[in-house]
């Protein structure tokens, strides 16, 4: 039996065939197992010698099984490695290259323009308190301007900021004039969406404060920004408008060559001279923080614009909703152009 078993083991071509041989001889109902079970029928004087003989056969069969299993496993591994080998000399599969989002690129352009003019770039919280978002900017709770900036409120009384103007207050509380800063980030308003409006969008807010700052400085700054974006022939238009935190206030627009072929002025944002009430509110916050009241009597201007509108103009995108639709057919058009 031992010779037959070892012969079958050495001739087993696969691990499955080897398992069958193992079951045949040393399995639960195998031939060797049955011999061990029959020891109880032998006389006591024969049982010990017969048991030793059967155990020796089992050990020889187990050793042969273990050796053959190792050989078959190595052969199976070698075959698998040979069949799944990678030719490292072949060219790799090309992966799609990413690129900057159009809004990110416009942000970079704007920040570069204002940094060259000496502005500091700051960022601030998107979840803001009511005082910094409204009241310190001359928009008390009863002011009708709040209807135009309805937003999303948290249960603790805070809100998602409706503009980046909150950073004007925060920056002036911590810094003394003269100063020049721009802040960027996302803002939120609860309003219907259309081709030029979204409930979440981006803003770039600017602030300049010092002695003798005038509306002429503001107009020159906006014109320089437009020339930096669109070249030396860029046209900018100002028209009177009302904003609670500036006086006087204005809207500014750039002449837009619409991709549908209808050239028109595109409003980019609002601006104006900082309202004296804003300076007084800043001094109140500074006083509460143990700092000097130094802003009352100062002059300055502020402006805010949306990168989405600029990207629409620069890259001829007709609908603001395309920026957030996650459609690779839209954004993929600018992969090469936007790096």
Q: Give the three-class secondary structure for 110.
A: helix
Nearest CA to 181 among 208, 215, 213, 214? 208
Residues 6+ apart with CB under 8 A from 202: 103, 107, 184, 185, 186, 187, 306, 307, 308
Token pair recorded at residue 209: 């404060």
Query: Are the CB atoms for 275 and 138 separated by under 8 Å?
Result: yes
Q: What is the DSSP letter of 197?
A: B
- What 3-state DSSP class applies to 72? helix
The pLDDT score that the predictor gives to residue 339 is 38
**pLDDT value at residue 119:** 96
Strand boundaries in the chain, DSSP class E: 120-122, 127-128, 159-160, 179-188, 200-210, 236-241, 246-256, 264-274, 299-305
Collapsing DSSP to helix, strand or coil, 338 comes out as coil
Q: How confident is the model at residue 336 (pLDDT cuts 50, 70, 90)?
A: low
- pLDDT tens digit string along 256-310? 655 556 667 878 889 999 999 999 999 999 999 999 999 988 999 999 998 888 8
User: Where does the pLDDT of residue 8 fall: very low under 50, low under 70, confident under 90, or very high at 90 and above?
Assistant: confident
Distance CA 277, CA 60 (A): 100
Quote the radius of gyration of the chain (alpha carbons, Å): 40
Q: How far is CA 96 from CA 88, 93, 99, 101, 327, in A?
A: 21, 10, 10, 15, 15
Residue 201 near residue 308, CB atoms below 8 Å: yes
pLDDT in tens, 81-136: 888 777 778 787 787 777 788 888 899 999 999 999 999 999 999 999 999 999 99
Cα separation, 302 vs 291, whole angstroms: 23
- For the stretch 201-237, pLDDT in tens is 899 999 999 999 999 999 999 999 988 887 888 889 9
Closest CA to 320 of 226, 202, 204, 238: 202
- The pLDDT value recorded for residue 214 is 95
**Kind and range of the H or E run holding 57:** helix 44-83
90 phi and psi, to 5 degrees? -75, 150
pLDDT value at residue 338: 40
Three-state secondary-structure class, residue 327: coil
What DSSP state is assigned to residue 27? S
Separation CA 183–CA 223 (nearest Å): 19
Cα separation values, 216 from 24, 79, 129, 220, Å: 102, 81, 33, 6
The string of pLDDT tens digits covering residues 43-92 is: 877 777 888 888 888 888 889 888 989 998 998 888 888 887 777 787 87
Q: Is the pLDDT of residue 168 over 80?
A: yes
**Element spanning 96, H or E:** none
Picking from 50, 71, 59, 74, the residue whose alpha carbon sits closest to that of residue 6 is: 59
Q: Length of the chain, please?
A: 339
């Amino acid at each position: 039996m031992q010779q037959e078993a070892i012969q079958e083991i050495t001739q087993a071509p696969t691990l499955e065939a080897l398992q069958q041989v193992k079951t045949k001889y040393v399995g639960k109902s195998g031939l060797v197992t049955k011999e061990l079970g029959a020891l109880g029928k032998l006389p006591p004087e024969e049982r010990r010698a017969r048991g030793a003989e059967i155990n020796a056969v089992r050990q020889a069969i187990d050793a042969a099984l273990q050796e053959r299993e190792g050989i078959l496993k190595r052969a199976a591994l070698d075959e698998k490695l040979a069949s799944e080998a990678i030719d490292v000399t072949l060219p790799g599969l090309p992966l799609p290259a990413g690129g900057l989002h159009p809004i990110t690129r416009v942000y970079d352009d704007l920040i570069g323009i204002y940094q060259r003019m000496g502005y500091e770039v700051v960022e601030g919280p998107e979840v803001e308190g009511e005082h910094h978002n409204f009241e310190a900017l001359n928009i008390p709770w009863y002011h009708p301007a709040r209807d135009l900036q309805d937003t999303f409120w948290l249960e603790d009384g805070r809100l998602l900021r409706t503009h980046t103007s909150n950073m004007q207050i925060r920056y002036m509380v911590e810094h003394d004039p003269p100063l020049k800063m721009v802040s960027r980030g996302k803002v939120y308003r609860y309003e219907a969406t259309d081709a030029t409006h979204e409930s979440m969008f981006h803003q770039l807010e600017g602030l300049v404060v010092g002695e003798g700052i005038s509306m002429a400085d503001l107009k020159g700054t906006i014109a320089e920004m437009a020339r930096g974006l669109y070249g030396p022939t860029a046209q900018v238009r100002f028209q009177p408008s009302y904003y609670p935190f500036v006086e006087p206030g204005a809207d500014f627009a750039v002449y837009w060559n619409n991709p549908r072929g209808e050239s028109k002025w595109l409003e980019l944002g609002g601006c104006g001279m900082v309202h004296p009430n804003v300076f007084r509110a800043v001094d109140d916050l500074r006083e509460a923080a143990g700092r000097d009241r130094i802003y009352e009597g100062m002059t300055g201007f502020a402006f805010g614009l949306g990168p989405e509108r600029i990207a629409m103009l620069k890259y001829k995108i007709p609908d603001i909703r395309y920026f957030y639709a996650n459609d690779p057919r839209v954004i993929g058009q600018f992969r090469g152009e936007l790096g």
